[in-house]
Structure 1
Amino acid sequence: MTTAPLHRLALGVETLDAVTGRVTGTALRVGRERPRRPGRQRSGGRRPLDPLLQRADAPLESNGSGRHLLLHDLRRASAGPAGESAVVRIDDPWRRYVPRRLTVPLWTLAEVEAAEAAGRHIPVRSRLLRPWLWPGSAYLLPSGATGLRGVVHAADGALPWARVEARLDANGALVGRAHGDERGEFLLVATYLGVRDLNTASPRIAVRISVFGPGSAPEPADPEQDPLAGLSVEQVPRTPDRPPPLDAALDTPLMRGESLPQGYRQSTAGSVLVRLPPGRVLSEPVPFPFSP
């Protein structure tokens, strides 16, 4: 007796914590973006009755472990469009992580079936996306962590989706990165600052905070429609199937969120000097300026 599969893997998404480097292991919203469909509205309201129609994406399958699946449905036509891709969005409604949007070329069902017919399966790792997620405003830092909370402002108010770097003022060594959210808020976790014993009083460490943002102002997002509409879409190259990809092929500056999105540039306002207290998280009340 033979059995026929009902689906095959199109894309696997495994989200990693940028601080720990481990699988997030927490409930995230991961989906494939789709065109907004008109839905039934409540009387006098703007939101559809169906909660799924409130989303701008179709949720990927998940078991709640930080891993999500986009599947080819074999009950449909097996021929996929040439050059098919998916815009994957990752969002955390509890603000523990900052959202990301990535365009990913897919191995179509036709390509998967053709490879199997030829006796060479496309490795699962060739269909795997492993993006790092950076701390959001509600991220739980361990005791003794060194960090900085702040907000980035442009000329007309908070700058959404900024990128932030911290470098030692003494030698320019990179000690931390952060992604800003739609409110311009960021939480930067600093790595080794040269302080060996955090249990003793240590002088504050001088670091330079640099801000990066889009050269032109993003379109304002309507929270009622799509709060992530202004978030840049990062272009992911296709992972080859031969040779089977190693960890280095899946762990790139783009996947780590270290590469700047297209059109981003460093603020012409220059860096800001901040003195971080080792072993504590400093909340800076003065906004960090961004000028394109």
Structure 2
Amino acid sequence: MTNLFTDVRYDERVVRLAVGVEPLDGLGGGRLTGPLRVLVEDAPAPLHNWRNWRPGETLDGFLGRLDRHRSGRFGRVYGPGFRAGEITLRLVEPSARAVVPRRIGVQIADEAAVLTAEAAGTSVPLFTRVFPVGLFPGAAVALPSRATVVRGRVVTAVAGGGTMPVRWVRVRAVDADGNDVGWAHGDDRGEFVLFVTGATEAVVPADDPLAVSFTVYATVPPPAPDPADPLRAVVDPLWDLPVEPLPALAGAASDDRYAGRVPLPGQDPFGPFPFDLPLGRETSIQLHIP
């Protein structure tokens, strides 16, 4: 066999990246570290026909996963048993609530297309196979000092009185001029952590307190479990978290869909909810949506 890159005296093995994921800090954009996992949603449905479930077991413990590199990136190379096409990935933290999970749908190029492009002297660009995904802080994140932070919870009324948390919300904050000053992702308890930043157009220091308005994006009423797959809502902690389709990047730069600064599929806006926030402090609020 003819080698591609080394002399024929050597054994050569070439691996090609099929899909890569780079978890990024949804606030600063730097690469995230910690006990993150990128799981492949390859479990058959319905789940009760797949295996016997013991009390306390969750789907995350039985899904395939992308390999983690020491750099903090995750990936999978082409090889036996690998199937190209559309797949769903979930980015999760197994124990702590330092980040809010996401589910993304990506398209994996067929290896034959990659080989054909290489043979023709072109390529399937690497950045079309790598997905930079922003993850926002969760309820257990360590807060820096002197930051303007909102710890919030989104609830909705239930029949008979009382309230219940709204799962997987997204929250946008704007200043009095309508400029974005922060985004947040809510978790399965309706809790979110929003770091307020200055508008990029600002040329003078912000007022203290800062007048902001929050818009909540939520799915109301929430989705109901599938009767044909009754165990899904029991063993899958992310069963109702919408999948975000992420197309291959047209260039080496990311966009708001990758950063998570857009509503989830199927969500509607609620608000605005005006607040005056003291700068450099932590503020707790509760937002009620219909």
Q: TM-score, normalised by structure 2?
A: 0.81
Are the counterparts in 2 of residues 85 and 106 from structure 1 also a CA contact under 8 Å?
A: yes
Distance in 2 of aligned mates of 1:28 and 1:64: 12
Please report how far the alpha carbon of residue 89 of structure 1 lies from its aligned counterpart in structure 2 after TM superposition. Answer: 0.6
Provide the residue aligned with 2:185 in structure 1: 179
108-117 or 213-222: bigger deviation: 213-222
User: 1:62-141 maps to which residues of 2 (within 5 A)?
Assistant: 62-73=68-79, 75-76=80-81, 84-93=85-94, 94-141=96-143
Please report how far the alpha carbon of residue 216 of structure 1 lies from its aligned counterpart in structure 2 after TM superposition. Answer: 3.7
1:157-209 CA distances to partner (integer Å, 9 max, x unpaired)? 100000111122x32322111010011000000002779789xxx84222212
Please report how far the alpha carbon of residue 25 of structure 1 lies from its aligned counterpart in structure 2 after TM superposition. Answer: 2.3
- Shift in CA distance, 57/15, structure 1 to aligned 2, threshold 3 Å: same
Provide the residue aligned with 1:256 in structure 2: 259
Q: 1:19 aligns with which of 16, 27, 43?
A: 27
- Shift in CA distance, 204/10, structure 1 to aligned 2, threshold 3 Å: same
User: 1:204-243 maps to which residues of 2 (within 5 A)?
Assistant: 204-219=209-224, 224-239=234-249
Distance in 2 of aligned mates of 1:60 and 1:12: 8
Are the counterparts in 1 of residues 233 and 239 from structure 2 also a CA contact under 8 Å?
A: no
Are the counterparts in 1 of residues 169 and 218 from structure 2 also a CA contact under 8 Å?
A: yes
Are the counterparts in 1 of residues 39 and 60 from structure 2 also a CA contact under 8 Å?
A: no
Please report how far the alpha carbon of residue 11 of structure 1 lies from its aligned counterpart in structure 2 after TM superposition. Answer: 0.5
- Residues matched between the structures, number: 265
Secondary structure at 2:78 match in 1 = strand
Let me know the Cα RMSD of the aligned residues. 2.7
Does residue 57 of structure 1 match 2:63? Answer: yes
Please report how far the alpha carbon of residue 21 of structure 1 lies from its aligned counterpart in structure 2 after TM superposition. Answer: 1.0
Distance in 2 of aligned mates of 1:6 and 1:223: 42
User: 1:25-36 maps to which residues of 2 (within 5 A)?
Assistant: 25-36=33-44
Provide the residue aligned with 1:289 in structure 2: 288
- Shift in CA distance, 288/112, structure 1 to aligned 2, threshold 3 Å: same
Structure 2, unaligned runs of 5 or more:
1-8, 159-163, 226-230
Secondary structure at 1:148 match in 2 = strand
Distance in 2 of aligned mates of 1:143 and 1:182: 27
Distance in 1 of aligned mates of 2:144 and 2:190: 23
- Shift in CA distance, 116/197, structure 1 to aligned 2, threshold 3 Å: closer
Does residue 46 of structure 1 match 2:48? Answer: no
Secondary structure at 2:155 match in 1 = strand
Distance in 1 of aligned mates of 2:41 and 2:20: 15
- Shift in CA distance, 103/190, structure 1 to aligned 2, threshold 3 Å: same
Please report how far the alpha carbon of residue 31 of structure 1 lies from its aligned counterpart in structure 2 after TM superposition. Answer: 1.4
Provide the residue aligned with 1:5 in structure 2: 13
Secondary structure at 1:111 match in 2 = helix
- Shift in CA distance, 19/239, structure 1 to aligned 2, threshold 3 Å: closer
Letter in 2 for 1:217: P
Distance in 1 of aligned mates of 2:203 and 2:279: 7
1:6-64 CA distances to partner (integer Å, 9 max, x unpaired)? 642111100110111111122201111112463455xxx3356xx9x753631110035
Secondary structure at 1:112 match in 2 = helix
Secondary structure at 1:13 match in 2 = strand
Are the counterparts in 1 of residues 39 and 66 from structure 2 also a CA contact under 8 Å?
A: yes
Are the counterparts in 2 of residues 46 and 224 from structure 1 also a CA contact under 8 Å?
A: no
Letter in 2 for 1:62: R
User: 1:154-193 maps to which residues of 2 (within 5 A)?
Assistant: 154-156=156-158, 157-168=164-175, 170-192=176-198
Q: TM-score, normalised by structure 1?
A: 0.81
Letter in 2 for 1:230: D
Structure 1, unaligned runs of 5 or more:
none
1:226-250 CA distances to partner (integer Å, 9 max, x unpaired)? 101110101111345xxxx222xxx
